[in-house]
Amino acid sequence: MTVPVALSETEPLDRKTLANLAYERLADLLVAGRLAPGDKVSLRTTAEILGTSMMPVREAVTRLVADAALEVTPNRAVRVPIMSATRFRDLTRVRMAVEGLAAAEAALHAAPDQIAAIARAESLFRDESARTAPDLSSAVALNRDFHFAVYAAAGSPILLDIIRALWLKAGPVINLDLRANPERLKSGGAVGFHKALLEAIRARDPATAKTALEGDVGGAADFILSRSSLPE
């Protein structure tokens, strides 16, 4: 079977807490949008790439199936779920509510070093988006880094856990969309929303921060739904 490039490039694991590390490695690929809907995950191949036995990988995959981030097909293959348009709309509504709250909280509570980290992440994403031929995988990962720098600054570990669970489901769809529509980096508005969100956090303006975040997530979702072929 064809192995996703992102998985083949992953480094082997150390021999400790292997199931947790395997889970984190696979979850990171999903959250960063480096695995797309329909990508298959072979337990044996994944174990070989990560340098461990199949048992930790099986445990990690079982957890990700419970998270609805992976699914087992009728023929027992493990794959990234195919997202329906209806489910994606529902996911977007929840993300806007939860992540909007985190953005508002970040505006109220972000420490100076956290604001600096958000600014660095915003700059890196903006620079990558401005390239004539941006690296799409890098752009998706940098977008993730910016958002999670904001969410970490909210100061709520519980909220951060909820958002990470949502991104396990959203990341692959974002990746699939950018593969098909790379022009979205230029026309999708993310750079502008990121700038507005950073400025609102610097200004300690939670309402504007929430609005910028909702515009970013909602605008990306509208673009995806208008241009992609998600089944209803």
Task: State the span(s) of the chain assigned CATH 1.10.10.10.
Answer: 5-79
Q: pLDDT tens-digit profile of 3-38?
A: 676 666 666 655 457 888 889 989 988 888 778 888
- Indicate the burial class of 54 (C-beta count within 10 angstroms; 0-12, 13-18, 19 or more): middle
Per-residue confidence (pLDDT) for residue 225, from 0 to 100:
85
- Where would I find the H helices in 134-228? 136-152, 157-180, 184-187, 190-202, 206-227
Q: pLDDT tens-digit profile of 92-127?
A: 999 999 999 999 999 999 999 999 999 999 999 999
Say which residues have a Cβ less than 8 Å from residue 51's Cβ, sequence separation at least 6.
12, 13
- What is the value of pTM for the model shown? 0.83
Per-residue confidence (pLDDT) for residue 220, from 0 to 100:
86
Per-residue confidence (pLDDT) for residue 228, from 0 to 100:
66
- Cα 59 from Cα 51, distance rounded (Å): 15
- Cα 91 from Cα 162, distance rounded (Å): 12
The architecture (CATH level 2) of 85-227 comes to Up-down Bundle (1.20)
Give the CATH number of domain 5-79: 1.10.10.10
SS3 35: coil
At residue 79, φ and ψ (nearest 5 deg) are -145, 165
